[in-house]
Structure 1
Amino acid sequence: MTQKACIVGGGVIGGGWAARFLLNGWDVAVFDPDPEAERKIGEVIANARRSLPSLYDKRLPDEGKLTFHNDLTEAAKGADWIQESVPERLELKHKVLGNLTEMASPTTVIGSSTSGFKPSELCAEGARAIVAHPFNPVYLLPLIELVGDPGETARAAEILRSIGMFPLTVRKEIDAHIADRFLEAVWREALWLVKDGIATTEEIDEAIRMGFGLRWAQMGLFETYRIAGGEAGMKHFMAQFGPCLTWPWTKLMDVPEFTDELVDLIAGQSDDQSRHLSIRELERLRDDNLVGMMRALKKSGSGAGGVLVAHEKALANAEPAELPVTVDRQIPQSWTDYNNHMNEAHYLEAGAAATDRFMELIGADADYIASGKSYFTVENHLRYLDELKAGERLTVTTQVLQGEGKKMKLFHFLKNGDGKVAATMETMLLHVDLTTRASCPPPPEVEEKLTAFAKAHTTLPVPDGAGRYVGQRG
């Protein structure tokens, strides 16, 4: 049964929430009186469609249904999750959350995107709500800070994990929760650095993104410092650098006055830094960078990459077919060249992924390899028949041409979003004992599954191109 999310407030954050739910198969109803809301949210969702699937090597669920409403009651009707993302004015949030509490089912999660207000403040006039504070872009960044009733936050956390997010439950309510308190501290110091003429906005951003920002992305603050302590660890680090905390290195608690002069200075420098790119271009640049970093982190399972690994494992496999579907994914922009077409090396990567998936189907999975057995590729033949483009759906189906004894010969069909074959890859593998590095027969349980596939596929026509060699005509 399709679940429904109601998004109240369609700004940058509300649009990101809509995209996150929609692309994970939820129906989404949006309420926002802004006459431009549909256009703005549509643009955010278009960016999300381009970037979010690129994080995964499995296809996300089919999109839910997106609707826009002028009536709040209609938008909230039947919602499993309601997310309030209206401006940060407490009296407005009291009114909206109070109305939503009256409309919602007792089992509906009501979350507020507030970056600063505590649940006790939000619910002071009778509302039933929790803080569910996201980070922009909501459709890519996994962190959600949850604050409020333990039962409600636990239910919310379960839902958030199902759409690929990382819920962090705050132990005690506090102004600005956890992450924004760090951000505000850095922001204050940055304002002083600009005001005092020590650095420009661009130089401050370079200091973050070229150095500690990358470390924080995969390891956080304390673990980074622990490593800085060397073999002696955190205790040594604190003994070595703790005295620095008393030195006058920062003005964190001394906030400069927001004068017109300071605002103009910062705004001017920021304009100079980014004028060559539009907001949408900046968003896409940001998204591409995040996808690249998070896919890199995914390889080691560190930080946000670990969330992706867990979510990908939970995604359902494709429906069974006459030939097994061994790859079903969106082509990431990182696989394409200057023409926006898939680079030839990634045709091989897709075929190799299909081989790995087929090995899993016959029981030669990661545990099997860890036990000391595997299949090694000894020969490949690729035919490039058509172009594949960034953002296009790529599926691979696999036919077994040979499956007996030590040998396994597979034929992969790489297809575009329309189901047209864009490439084929014929691959020969030998079963190997990893301790001796010599070929050997597979154990009966693997051989039986491989033989079953091979027998079933003998009834199929020999694929066009099977057995070809490089340069063969016709």
Structure 2
Amino acid sequence: MARKAAIIGGGVIGGGWAARFLLNGWDVAVFDPDPEAPRKVGEVIANARQALPALSDVPMPAEGKLSFVSTITEAVEGSEYIQESVSERLDLKHRVFAQIQQVAPGVLIGSSTSGFKPSELQEKAPEPGMIFVAHPFNPVYLLPLAEVVPSPKNPPEAIERAKEILREIGMFPLHVRKEIDAHIADRFLEAVWREALWLVKDGIATTEEIDEAIRMGFGLRWGQMGLFETYRVAGGEAGMKHFMAQFGPCLTWPWTKLMDVPEFNDELVDLIAGQSDAQSGHHSIRELERIRDSNLIGFLRALKERNWGAGKVLREHDERKAAAFFGATDSAPKAAPLEMAHMQVLPGWIDYNGHMTESRYYFANSETIDAFLRLIGAGMDYVAAGHSYYSAETHIRHLGEAKLGDRLTGTIQIISADEKRFRSFVRIMKGEDCVATIEQLCLHVDMAAGKSSPASAEVWAKLKAVADAHANLPLPEGAGRAVGQRK
């Protein structure tokens, strides 16, 4: 049975939370009195469906069930976790918490508030210990950070349970040890925002020029190293102490106006809004979201390849998901094709026709063969010892279509085998339908000698056991066919 999350408030942030939970296999109930909420949340989820799977290298869980309900009671009944994302009005949040806790006692309630302290949120609540801050960043379905801020009234075990739930949906819970207005990240952003307003008001820079300064320079460094690690590198071999000695005196110079706020009047608003329209008004908000998501995917995937920063969170989330998907494969010989790989067609797998692209069929075959090699003891440890199986000949047949989101299974049948080679027949299945077959001849190679050689006794024994189990299976339809050969 799927776990359930309740999302109270269906704006940009609430919609992002809904998408994050939904695409990670949770059932989601959304409450928002806005009659446009289903459309708005639906559009956010549509963007998320295109974006979030592109960060994963293992299949996403089966998507949960999404429902829009007319009352808070309907939303929270049966929920394991509740995320409040209503407007930043403390009195409104208090009323929402009171309604929730009337019908859902003992359930964790995270608040998306960007400014209020948890102790303020907990005032007059029946169960203050279940309410805490879980402050995300837009887009919630892509960016992993969630600032988790408790007060002394929160039992440590409740906060640990909340953090574990956030990790399960691929987020990075940053435990803020002391509550403070605006937490950590928004306090920092507020300082940058104040200075940016002065630069525009004083005619020093336009909104576009400020954005260029960030995204062409230090913003790229911050995305991978943050602030202090960036400055540590700037200190050279002498490190942070040298940097502080060199730039510390600047703190007393009148470079910034951090404690001085420009008058927030219509003139300033019109100035900022006008420049922003000139900068980005030729794109709709949904277009800008998709552009942003595509750029973030590329950046996050680069970090993931290097197991660095936010990319490390993505890798760890994949590892947790992989246990569930790959644990269902076969682990011993049987008199039937072995189920070796579970896959899902991701956004990066499709071509301009919307179909799974040619190279990904070979990738699916490789995933299936690699899993089989691990099964017979010829995995990466075997390769490190100087031996491997090389593909010598491959024949693929396309029998059907696979499209974005389709779930695929790779099965393998061993047609023949000896100490130096095996001939495999891989079927790429979409449910009961076979969308492709890949017939392949693999040679066992001594990599140091650069030539074929007999497999180790242990590997050959395991390979032979599978080959013997498959010996009486019918020859697969299409096996041995050449390109263009008639049936």
When normalised by structure 1's length, the TM-score is: 0.90
Report the residue type matching 2:179 in the other structure.
E
Shift in CA distance, 200/434, structure 1 to aligned 2, threshold 3 Å: farther
In 2, Cα distance between equivalents of 1:324 and 1:121: 58
Report the residue type matching 1:68 in the other structure.
F
- Secondary structure of the residue that 2:325 maps to in structure 1? coil
Shift in CA distance, 274/373, structure 1 to aligned 2, threshold 3 Å: same
- Is 2:373 the partner of 1:359? yes
Report what 1:130 is aligned to: 132
Shift in CA distance, 465/435, structure 1 to aligned 2, threshold 3 Å: same
In 1, Cα distance between equivalents of 2:53 and 2:428: 18
- Secondary structure of the residue that 2:278 maps to in structure 1? helix
Report what 1:105 is aligned to: 105
- Secondary structure of the residue that 1:317 maps to in structure 2? helix
Cα pair 1:328 1:394 within 8 Å, conserved: yes
Report the residue type matching 1:58 in the other structure.
V
Equivalent positions of 1:64-213 (< 5 A) are 64-106=64-106, 108-126=107-125, 127=128, 128-148=130-150, 149=154, 150-213=156-219
In 2, Cα distance between equivalents of 1:431 and 1:183: 57
Paired residues, what number?
A: 472
In 2, Cα distance between equivalents of 1:74 and 1:179: 34
Shift in CA distance, 273/473, structure 1 to aligned 2, threshold 3 Å: farther
Shift in CA distance, 99/453, structure 1 to aligned 2, threshold 3 Å: same
Cα pair 1:411 1:425 within 8 Å, conserved: yes
Counterpart among 302, 317, 337 of residue 311 in structure 1:
317
- Is 2:402 the partner of 1:400? no
Shift of 1:121: 0.8
- Is 2:328 the partner of 1:328? no
Unaligned 5+ runs, structure 1: none
Cα pair 2:82 2:110 within 8 Å, conserved: yes
- Is 2:254 the partner of 1:248? yes
TM-superposition CA deviations, 1:340-372 (whole Å, max 9, x none): 444433333333333333323333334444454
Counterpart among 441, 447, 460 of residue 428 in structure 1:
441
Shift of 1:465: 4.2
Shift of 1:421: 3.9
Shift in CA distance, 198/436, structure 1 to aligned 2, threshold 3 Å: farther
Cα pair 1:58 1:327 within 8 Å, conserved: no
Cα pair 1:292 1:334 within 8 Å, conserved: no
Cα pair 1:50 1:391 within 8 Å, conserved: no
Shift in CA distance, 424/295, structure 1 to aligned 2, threshold 3 Å: farther
In 2, Cα distance between equivalents of 1:395 and 1:240: 59
Cα pair 1:135 1:143 within 8 Å, conserved: yes
Cα RMSD (Å): 2.7
Report what 1:467 is aligned to: 480
Shift in CA distance, 405/288, structure 1 to aligned 2, threshold 3 Å: same
Shift of 1:86: 0.7
Report what 1:258 is aligned to: 264
TM-superposition CA deviations, 1:297-320 (whole Å, max 9, x none): 222211222112111122212544
Unaligned 5+ runs, structure 2: 331-335
- Secondary structure of the residue that 1:115 maps to in structure 2? coil
In 1, Cα distance between equivalents of 2:399 and 2:361: 11
In 1, Cα distance between equivalents of 2:147 and 2:135: 5
In 2, Cα distance between equivalents of 1:219 and 1:377: 41
Report the residue type matching 2:110 in the other structure.
G
Report what 2:333 is aligned to: none
In 2, Cα distance between equivalents of 1:437 and 1:227: 44
In 1, Cα distance between equivalents of 2:340 and 2:213: 43
When normalised by structure 2's length, the TM-score is: 0.88
Between stretches 20-29 and 351-360, larger displacement belongs to 351-360
Report the residue type matching 1:346 in the other structure.
R
Shift of 1:327: 4.2
Shift of 1:378: 3.5
Equivalent positions of 1:382-397 (< 5 A) are 382-385=396-399, 388-397=402-411
- Secondary structure of the residue that 1:411 maps to in structure 2? strand
In 2, Cα distance between equivalents of 1:445 and 1:105: 58
Between stretches 314-323 and 11-20, larger displacement belongs to 314-323
Shift of 1:154: 0.8
